[in-house]
Structure 1
Amino acid sequence: MENNRTTTTPSRLRAGFVGAGFMAEVHSRAVRAAGAEIAGIASSSPASAARAKDRLGVEQAYASVQDLLQDDTIDVIHVCTPNSTHHALAEAVIKAGKHVVCEKPLATNVHDATKLTELADAAGVVATVPFVYRFHPMIREARERIASGQTGHISTIQGSYLQDWLLTRDDDNWRVDAALGGPSRAFADIGSHLCDLLEFVSGERISRVGALSRTVFSGRANNKDVQTEDLVAAVFTTEAGTVGNLLVSQVAPGRKNRLMFEISGADSTLQFDQEAPETLWLGKRAGSQVLVRDPDALSPEAARLSVLPAGHPQGYQDAFNAFVADTYGAIHGDIRDGLPTFRDGLRSAVLTESIIESSKGGEWVDVPYLKELEGVQK
C-alpha cells in the first residue's frame, strides 16, 4: 500500500555542509531520509573536513568554504557552525545562488538577521532555520485544535525548556563563550525553540516581556570569564492580551531536553512535553484525557507528519527529517504550511534582544515590530 503521508521529496538534490559537529550528524541523517545526496563538506580545516567526509559518508571534502560554494553541482548548503559565523556564511551561500539551511540562531543580533532575511527574499532562494519541534505530529494537532476554536479563547500560556548539560562548573562548551555563541546562551539556544513553539501553536505574538537572567558560574573549565546566562525567567503578554510565563535553564538536574508548554483556553487546556512527544494532554473541567498519536484520528497536517503507524514511537530525529524534507520540497516548489524560514529566525533574534534588554534593565520591554516580518505565515 502506498503511504500518502510520506515527506520524501521527488528528486535527488545535492547538499553541501559547512561544519562537522553534532548538528552536522543530525542534519546528515535528515538529508539522507529526504532522498538527497551529501555531496560535499567544508569545516574549520581541510583535515577536519576529510575526517567528517569518512564519518558522515560525504562524497567530497573541500579545502575551504569558498571551494564548496563554487561547486555549481550543489543545490543547497547546510550551515552547522558556531553561532557567530552564521551571518557571514549564510550571506555567502545566498550570494552564491544556493538554497540554505542555517542552524539557529540565524544571527547573534537583529541587524544581521534582518540583512539575511532581506537578502534571501531578494535572491528568491529557499532559506530555512531548524525550529524542528514544529514537526512533531502532536504539535500540529495542538495548533489545529487552537486554530479551529476547540480550545476556546486563550487566557494563559506557560512554558519551560530545561536541560542539565551545563550543570557543574566543570561542564563547558564553545556556546559559553560570547565571542562564539553570541551575547545570549540559554535563551538564544533553547529559549528560542520554546518561544517559537508558543507563538506557532497559539497563533499569538509575544508583545511585551519582563525578564530575569542568571549566570550560575562566572567561570567554567575553559571559559574563565563567563558573560552568557545559564537561565532565564520571564513573564509576557501577547498582542491579544494573553498572559504568559516561561523558564529556560541549562542547569536543571535530571532534565535532559525537557521542552514543555501548557496553553489554557475557555474550554480546554493543551499540554505538550517534548520528552514524551507521542502524546498531548487535554484538560477540561469535566475531566481530562491523554491523546495518543494515531494518524487515523489526527488533523491532516498531524497525520501527514505521522510517518509511522500508531504505537511505533516517533521522536526528535523524525521531526528533523520532516523539517529537511519540507525544506527540500519547497526547493521543488511544494511549500508546506509551517516551514520555518529566515523570517522566523529574525523573529527569534528580535525576542532574544528584548529578553536581554529587559533582564539587564530590570524593566518591561516592548518587543519591536519589524516591517520585514509583515505577512509572515506562522
Structure 2
Amino acid sequence: MTPTPEPLRVGLVGGGFMASVHTRAARAAGAQLVGAVGSRPGRGEAIAHNLGYDRGYDTIDQLLADPTVDVVHITTPNALHAVQAAAAIAAGKQVICEKPLATTVADAQHLTEIAEAAGVTAAVPFVYRFHPLVREARARFAAGTCGRLLTIQGSYLQDWLLDETDDNWRVDPAAGGRSRAFADIGSHLIDLIEFVTGDRVSRIATTTRTFFPSRAEHARVTTEDAAAVTLETSGGAIGTLLVSQAAPGRKNQLHLELAGSVESVAFDQEQPETLWIVKRRGSQIIPRDADQLSPDAARLVTTPAGHPQGYQDAFNAFVDDSYTAAKGGTAEGLPVFADGLRATQITECVLAAAEVERWIDVPAIPTLAKVS
C-alpha cells in the first residue's frame, strides 16, 4: 500500500472573520489544526475553542517556536503583517499572509526577498483567481481567443461602510494602512486584470473620496471610502475602475469586463457560475461545467454544474494549492508574496496619483516579468 502523506500542521494568528475563513479552508484541505494565538494572552485559547484548534498560545513567539507547526496563517490587522510574516519566515515556517501583504512597498519588498531567500512557500489570498470561470477567461486570453486587449472596465462595490455610524479598524491608518478601499478590495481588481490578461498596468490616474470626515469610533478619517482609477497597460489597453465601500445595496460585487479585439469576457463575483462571452455578432454564456472548460479551470470545479460554488470554495482551492506548494508540488497560478508586493506597489501609485492629480507611472518589478 502507498503510504498516506502526513497532513500539514497549521498555526493561526488572529481571530476575526478571515480567521474562520482560513480555518474552514485548512480543514477542507485535510490539515491538522495545531494552535491559535490572538491579540492578548488568553485570547488564543478562546480562538482555539471556537474554531477547533488543539491549543491556544499566549504569544506569537510561542506559536512560532512550536516545532509541530508547519504552516502559519496570518489574519491580523494589516499593520501587523510585515513583522509577523517576517518572524514566521525566520522561524522556518511556510506562510499564508492576508492581504495587503504590507502597508508600505518597502516592507512588502523585504518580505518578498526574505521568503525567496528562505525557500519557503509564501502565499497571499487573491482568491478570486480560484473561481473556475476566472481561469477560463485567463485561458482564452492566453490562447489568443480574445485577440489583443483593448479596454478594461472594472468595479468592486460594497456598502458595509455606507453610513457615518459604520466603523471598523480598517478606517484607522495605524491599523489598516494609508489606503482602505483600494488596498482592501481594489487590489483584487488589479490582480485579476494582470492575472487574466497577462498584461501589466503601466500608468494610473486617480481620484479618491472620503465621504465621512469622522465615524463612530474615529474622529478624523483620512482613509478613502472610494477611488476612481483610469489606467493604461504596457500592451496599450486603457481602462477605468471604480472601487467603493459606500455603494448602497452592493454587498460584494466585483465585476470585470475585458474587451479584446475579437471578443469580450465579463465576470461577476456575485454571479460566479457563468462567464459572459460576446463578439460583434453573437454572445455566449459559459456555465461552470467542467466538460466545457479549459483544463486549469476544470480542475477547480468541485461540484457538478448546477450545484453552486462560491467564495469559500475559491478560498479552499487557494489554500489547497498553497499546501501543495508547501509540500514541494506545483500549483498553477498561486498568488505569492511577489504578487502581494505588486498590489502594494500599485496601491501606493493610486494614492500618489490622487495626491498630485496627474498620471503616475507604475514601475516594473523584475520578479514579476512573468505572470505567476
TM tier, shorter chain?
Answer: over 0.9
1:30 shift after superposition: 0.0
One-letter identity of the residue aligned with 2:140? R
Q: Which secondary structure does the structure 1 equivalent of 2:332 belong to? A: coil
Contact 1:82 1:180 in 2 (8 A): yes
**Distance of 1:279 and 1:374 partners within structure 2:** 30
Q: Distance in 1 between matches of 2:70 and 2:219?
A: 42
State the SS of the aligned residue for 1:264.
Answer: strand
Aligned pair partner of 1:219 in 214, 217, 225: 214
Aligned-residue offset at 1:46? 2.3
Query: 2:185: which partner in 1?
Result: 190
**Partner residue, 1:369:** 364
Which of 256, 274, 282 is equivalent to 1:279? 274
Q: Distance in 2 between matches of 1:25 and 1:44?
A: 16
Report the alpha carbon displacement of residue 158 of structure 1 after superposing the two structures with TM: 1.0
Measure how far apart 1:335 and its partner are.
Answer: 1.6
Aligned-pair Cα RMSD in Å: 1.0
1:208 aligned residue (203, 212, 217): 203
Paired position in structure 2 for 1:179: 174
8 Å contact kept, 2:264–2:278:
yes
State the alpha-carbon separation in 2 of the partners of residues 146 and 76 from structure 1: 34
Match of 1:324 among 290, 305, 319: 319
Query: Partner letter of residue 80 of structure 1?
Result: T
Contact 1:343/1:376 (<8 A) preserved: no
Secondary structure at 1:28 match in 2:
helix
CA distance in 1, matches of 2:368, 2:126: 20
Matched with 2:231 is 236
**Aligned residue in 1 for 2:105:** 110
| Partner Cα distance (2:162, 2:6) in 1 | 44
Distance 1:236-1:304 versus aligned 2 partners, 3 A rule: same
1:306 aligned residue: 301
Match of 1:25 in 2: 20
Q: How does 1:112-131 map to 2 (within 5 A)?
A: 112-131=107-126
Any conservation in 2 of the 1:192–1:352 contact (CA below 8 Å)?
A: yes
Does structure 2 retain, via aligned residues, the 8 Å contact 1:278–1:314?
A: yes
Q: Deviations over 1:245-281 (max 9, x none)?
A: 1000000000000000000111111000000001000
1:148 to 138, 143, 148: 143
**Aligned residues of 1:93 and 1:100 also touching (Cα < 8 A):** yes
Deviation at 1:376, TM superposition (A): 4.1
For 2:92, the equivalent position in structure 1 comes to 97
Alignment partner of 1:46: what SS? coil
User: Kindly tell me: are residues 151 and 375 of structure 1, through their superposed partners in 2, closer, same or farther at Cα, counting changes over 3 Å?
Assistant: closer
Counterpart of 1:353 in structure 2 is 348
Partner of 1:292 in structure 2? 287
Q: Deviations over 1:62-121 (max 9, x none)?
A: 011000000011101000000000000000000000000000000001000000000000
Q: Does the aligned pair in 2 maintain the 1:296–1:303 contact within 8 Å? A: yes
Q: Percent identity?
A: 56
Q: Please, which of 260, 269, 273 is the counterpart of residue 265 of structure 1? A: 260
2:330 is the counterpart of 1:339: no
- Give unpaired runs (5+ residues) of structure 1: 1-8
For 2:8, the equivalent position in structure 1 comes to 13
| Cα distance change, pair 11–300 in 1 and its aligned pair in 2 (3 A) | farther
The DSSP-based 3-state class of the residue aligned with 1:20 is: coil
| Structure 1 counterpart of 2:29, from 26, 30, 34 | 34
Aligned to 1:246: 241
Distance change >3 Å, CA 299–CA 10, structure 1 → 2: farther
Query: Are the aligned partners of 1:15 and 1:77 in contact in 2 as well (CA < 8 Å)?
Result: yes
Equivalent-residue separation in structure 2 for 1:125 and 1:325 (angstroms) = 16
Matches of 1:374 and 1:106 in 2, distance apart?
Answer: 16
CA shift for structure 1 position 11: 3.5
Q: Residue 67 and residue 376 in structure 1: after superposition, are their counterparts in 2 closer, same or farther (change >3 A)?
A: farther
* TM-superposed deviation, 1:370: 3.0
Task: Structure 2: give runs of 5+ residues left out of the alignment.
Answer: none
The aligned residue for residue 3 of structure 1 is: none
Match among 315, 327, 330 for residue 310 of structure 2: 315
Query: Post-superposition shift, 1:374?
Result: 4.3
The corresponding residue for 1:43 is 38
Distance 2:300 2:79 in 1: 32
- CA positional deviation for 1:233: 0.3
